[in-house]
Amino acid sequence: MGLGTVVVDLSLQSDVHLGAFGARALQRGEVKNVRKLGLNGPLAYSLLCLILIAAGMAGVWWGNKAYGPEMYADNGLLPAVEAFEKGQNYAVFDLNLNIRKLHELQVSRMTKTPDVVIIGASHWQEAHSDLLKGMTLYNSHIHRDFWEDLLGAPYIFAANNRLPKRMIISIRDNQFRPIPTRPDYLWEPGIANYRLMADKIGVEKENYWTTFPYQRIRQLFSISMLFDNLTRWHNADVRPHATTDVRSETLDTLMPDGSIMWSKAHLAFFSQDRMKREAMALANLRRNDPPQVEARGVAAFEKLLDYLKVQGVTVYLAQPPFNPIYYDNLQGSAYFEGLKKIDALTHDIAARHALKMIGGFNPHVVGCTPDMYIDAEHSNPICLQKIFDEFAEIVKSEGGK
């Protein structure tokens, strides 16, 4: 069934129901009441059009939730969490999903608190638990995190009495970017938890309308999105499902520890030539777009650090290393000058709160090489292992497990 057919069917159903209601009203002699309201001629036609449009929009909204549940349905990721509880993994079409909701659902059902939780962007998505020996690790990475996520992500652990003994919090280049300058809307699902944590720690929240999920709602009513979701669903040989396989042929895999495994098809797609093109393209795009800092975001984050200290959580600040090709080609640019300010800010926060730091934007210092990346920013476990080894040494020096 094509998209046009779906919308038309929904509209016709609504029209039939309206017609049946009108027929019964006529049989009861109530048509005079309709006339009193002036619902005849152009007005009646306009009302009917509005009803049909509303029915069509409702159909698109329903369709996007039904055929893109991992992104839009409230419990669309519940099957993944149920698979994790059975010791299974969960295969998905791709990683464009509401990963904030996934963590919220999973943490709410945890029976044990992890030793270490890492909070950061998708730079950390391949950080699996085997990278940290002797400690249980939960990877609470999210897509396109901003400063509100620095509050919202820890909130789900606090709300479920699952705050860990140690928490690694990553600060990326655009972490404190103001809302009006953000290029995407993937941060919107995390706003509710941000607002709850802001209340908990006494931080003045951003204006409700400033953080209203306009783009997410717009996507729910997107016909083109529905077409893409329908096409993908009906053309797929394999659909999202629980699995014991670590790596699938065509689907990416969500792991119980919060990490991901790329499909074999994706790994084949991530060639070295593609990586170089992606790194250079992003460097050219960002050259004159330096990272910006929302001062209130920094202040809110520091208030969070105070709260976590009171709760007995030892925080370690981290920076994700960039692909050397990307990093080197931005030297001397306005972006690179802005990046140095973010680096200085992160070290300043660490100093004020007596926090240890791991990783770093500079890949040469961390020891990551271009072959460890799939693009400008996302490294593989070989690079990430270097950062976790650094973390393990710090923990060892502290005399703790």
> Mean pLDDT for each consecutive 10-residue tract of the chain (401 residues)?
36 37 44 50 84 93 94 94 98 94 97 98 97 96 95 98 98 96 90 97 92 91 94 95 96 98 97 98 97 97 98 98 98 98 98 98 98 98 98 92 60
- The pTM of the full predicted model, rounded to 2 decimals, is 0.87
Instruction: Using CA atoms of 339, 345, 348, 353 in order, give the dihedral in degrees to the nearest 10.
Output: -120
Q: What is the C-alpha separation between 328 and 167, in angstroms, rounded?
A: 30
Domains in the chain and their CATH numbers?
3-67 (no CATH), 76-397 (3.40.50.1110)
Give the N- to C-terminal CA distance of the chain in Å, as an integer: 57
CB 390 within 8 A of CB 359: yes
Distances (CA, A) of 304 to 29, 201, 297: 66, 7, 11
Q: Among 321, 99, 290, which Cα is nearest to 178's?
A: 290
CB 341 within 8 A of CB 291: yes
Buried b (16+ CB within 10 A) or exposed e, 147-177: bbbbbbbbbbbbbeebbbbbbbbbbbbbbbb
Q: What is the C-alpha separation between 81 and 79, in angstroms, rounded?
A: 5
pLDDT for 39: 56
pLDDT for 40: 64
Q: Among 184, 181, 182, 188, which Cα is nearest to 209's?
A: 188
Tokens of residue 131, six digits:
């990278």
